[in-house]
Chain A
Amino acid sequence: MGKTTKTPGKHKASTGKCTGMSGADVLHQMLLDEGVEILFGFPGGTVLPIFDVLYRSPIKFILTRHEQGACHMADGYARSTGRVGVVIATSGPGATNLVTALATANMDSVPLVALTGQVRSTLIGNDAFQEADVTGITRPITKHNFLVKRVEDIGRTVKEAFYIARTGRPGPVVVDIAVDSTVARLQGEPDLTPNLPGYKPTTTGNLRQIKSAASAINAAQRPVLYVGGGVVISGASAELRKLAEKGSIPVATTLLALGTLDERSPLALQMLGMHGSAAANYAVQDCDCLVAVGARFDDRVTGNLAEFAPRAKIIHIDIDPSSISKNVVVDIPVVGDAKDILARMLEHIKSNDRSDWLGKIAQWKKRHPFKYETDGKIKPQEVVARLGALTDHNAIIATGVGQHQMWTAQFYGWRRPRQIITSGGLGTMGFGCPAAIGAQFGNPGATVIDIDGDGSFCMTMVEVITAARYQQPVKFVVLDNEYLGMVRQWQEMFYGRRYSAVSHPCPEFAKIAEGYGACGMKITERSELDDAIRAMLKQPGPVVLHVAVEPEENVYPMVATGKALHEMDLGKLA
């Protein structure tokens, strides 16, 4: 095994004198020490002492309209900046409202710290008012969680929470804090030394494994890089590009890794998997060496596992040992941080033009590009494509979950990492609106667009109020097909067009936007599209652009459940 990260050493709080501070003060001091600049959340009874400290804090507090929105905002902030997102909620319902958003962050390895109030330590377990077993509820959907009952433990625990959230394979950490411990005052200096003997993530890859992987790549005729969100988290896209270019290795990305390689590169295969590009899926099925980096062989990526990359020797680079050989048996595992491993592997990779293989790939790309027709009603794909063109492919894009999410992945034209903010693993509808707002807070001045579906948008659109109140100029583009489109597509393809519970007539989103204090626009004709997008981008504040699109458009290619990647249905792309 390689080296492990050092746990932070023994140290006292930066102020030196914590004696006499209340628990809430200590908590606040720890947030300052961690460099936290913004908090998202919602107050309540058990967090009153914390909010009293925030009253005079330099940390910006964003009051959302729902705790789920606050947590998705912290998530969007974290994904777009790489910093730890922080959310505060009260006990009971406040904390349970975080659950979906915590699970979302957990599946996609997003560093979050959620601070939840808990009832007084003496009442825990008594079914007190607004009591819920929050550590019990969140244990399986977080990287770790803590229950703090004593003022002496607040400092150390918060420090541990940040450390766990951002290191190794990142993830959300809940710190559930009994209200009396935030009121109590410290009698002496607290011991802030982390006590985490079981937490030692491996970051430096084993050199022998790296060399062995490099020689397998050098020996391969048709290698493919299969790149996941781990490369984004690690900040390894430059290393990835160098490796791909030196060895002439085509790169297929997962949904979360879009943009790790500029899609204009001849080596870019775009997204792979269920709705991935034909070139990516054919390349994976035909390759003789598959190099997975920071990816986890999710079922939406692999299709039928038994027939996934059948001819390939599989190399897997990941910081999480439990990801290796979980779904696919790996020939050469390398545990560690992608940036470190790719940089060191580069020296051992031989330059190779692989012209036959790249020629074959170029043909697939030419023959089966993502495409759509431009007759009849506005096509959802063309809205995404026009948004890409008119923002110079440079915006930060959040999405909800469903057809619009896949079309966004396929048609925006990704240029750089951390450009797409989307719920991949959990597939959380309603993620887009608040996540986009969080990303805007983390990237003032950047163009941030939520490309949403009507189904997803309805779930959390109340947070448009938050965008308006804090003057965050997020653009919400709602592709309204009056259906829960992805479910409808499955019912069309696999359930004999029996459309059960998918008809989804929508309200006038533009009017709602106006009522919420944002600008509202609606278009129904192709001729209005470009002008509307330009007008939207010009607006200094938040805008909801309601676009009525073709109701029964389908996402292609599609690999049906149980099929292998090469058995994809190309639909109109064939």
Chain B
Amino acid sequence: MRHVISALVQNQSGVLAHVAGMFAARGFNIDSLVVGRTEDPNLSRMTIVVVGDDRVLEQVRKQLAKLVPVVKVRDFADIAYVERDLMLIRVTVGPQHRPEVVELVNLFRGTVVDVAMDSVVVMLAGPEDKLEAFVDLVRPYGIAEMARTGVIAMSRGQQKNAAAKEDS
């Protein structure tokens, strides 16, 4: 099962190597790992997407929490949360088919951020499966390049409604 794990870590040099090294040494597979600033300048947040069964994930959480610079670990598996991944994708499309691609971009609430004679660069944010769906739809036109940030996540405000579904 895919788990999104959020770790609050001390903002100091070596922390990323510490966390990434632990994952490698213990054989845990990382789908994506994002590090960024938080509201507290002393702390950074790592959002890590890991695939594994319950026992593997229990170890992932515990081994993360054991690292001295890791302040707090949260697994979003059992709580309502929102996740976003940001993608830049260069689609090889000339003037003839460009309107079709732009229509897809609009349907996905994306933005065309660069246009050239033979390509467009599209920016799209959303949960991973939405991005995957878009990629599948533009693949026939040709994908020259793609860059993604990886997932960041946050719990929803109303925890009582645990069944709250992810919006698109």
| Interface set of A (CB-CB < 8 Å, partner B) | 135-136, 139-140, 143-144, 147, 164, 195-199, 320-322, 324-326, 329
Contact = CB atoms under 8 A, between A and B. Distances in A.
Contacts of A199: 68
B68 A322 contact: no
A199 B9 CA distance: 11
Contacts of A139: 14, 17-18, 21
B119 interface: no
B67 interface: yes
A144 B68 contact: yes
B62 A322 contact: yes
B22 interface: yes
Interface string B64-83: 01111111100000000000
Contacts of A136: 17
A198 B22 contact: no
7 contacts: A139-B17, A139-B18, A147-B14, A195-B10, A321-B62, A322-B66, A325-B59
B25 interface: yes
A135 B62 CA distance: 22
Nearest to A146: B14
Contacts of B65: 321-322
Contacts of B55: 325, 329
A143 B69 CA distance: 11
Contact of B10 (A197, A321, A322, A325): A197
Contacts of A198: 9-10, 67-72
The 3 closest A-B pairs by CB, nearest first: A322-B62, A198-B71, A144-B68
B100 interface: no
Interface residues of B, number: 22
Contact of B58 (A140, A147, A196, A325): A325
Interface in B127-163: none
Contacts of A195: 10
B96 interface: no
Nearest to A195: B10
B14 A140 contact: no
Given A147-B14, A198-B72, 13 more contacts: A135-B14, A139-B14, A139-B21, A144-B68, A147-B13, A195-B10, A196-B68, A197-B71, A198-B69, A321-B62, A321-B65, A322-B65, A329-B55
Nearest to B58: A325
Contacts of B10: 195, 197-198
B14 A164 contact: no
A144 B14 CA distance: 11
Interface string B1-43: 0000000011001100110011001000000000000000000
Interface of B: 9-10, 13-14, 17-18, 21-22, 25, 55, 58-59, 62-63, 65-72
B27 to A, nearest CB: 13
Contacts, number: 42
Contacts of A143: 68
A139 B13 CA distance: 13
A425 to B, nearest CB: 15
A140 B13 CA distance: 16
Contacts of A324: 62
Contacts of A164: 68
A196 B70 CA distance: 9
A246 B126 CA distance: 61
Nearest to B64: A322
A220 to B, nearest CB: 25
A198 B21 CA distance: 18
Contact of B63 (A147, A196, A322): A322
A197 B71 CA distance: 6
B54 to A, nearest CB: 10
In the complex, which of the residues A140, A195, A320 has the most CB atoms of chain B within 10 Å of its own CB atom?
A140
A214 B51 CA distance: 36
B76 to A, nearest CB: 20
Contacts of B13: 147
In the complex, which of the residues A196, A198, A325 has the most CB atoms of chain B within 10 Å of its own CB atom?
A198
A135 B22 CA distance: 14
A140 B71 contact: no
B68 A140 contact: no
Contacts of A321: 62, 65-66
B59 A322 contact: yes
Contacts of B62: 321-322, 324
A199 B68 CA distance: 5
Contacts of B69: 198
B42 to A, nearest CB: 8
In the complex, which of the residues B9, B18, B21, B22 has the most CB atoms of chain A within 10 Å of its own CB atom?
B18
Contacts of A196: 68
Contacts of A329: 55
Nearest to A201: B66
Nearest to A321: B62
A154 B63 CA distance: 28
A140 B63 contact: no
In the complex, which of the residues A195, A197, A320, A321 has the most CB atoms of chain B within 10 Å of its own CB atom?
A197
B38 to A, nearest CB: 13
Contacts of B17: 136, 139
A446 B62 CA distance: 41
A325 B9 CA distance: 25
Contacts of B71: 197-198
A195 B9 CA distance: 12
B70 A140 contact: no
A326 B59 contact: yes
Contacts of A322: 59, 62-63, 65-66
A417 B59 CA distance: 31
Nearest to A169: B66
A314 to B, nearest CB: 14
Contacts of A320: 66
A320 B67 CA distance: 12
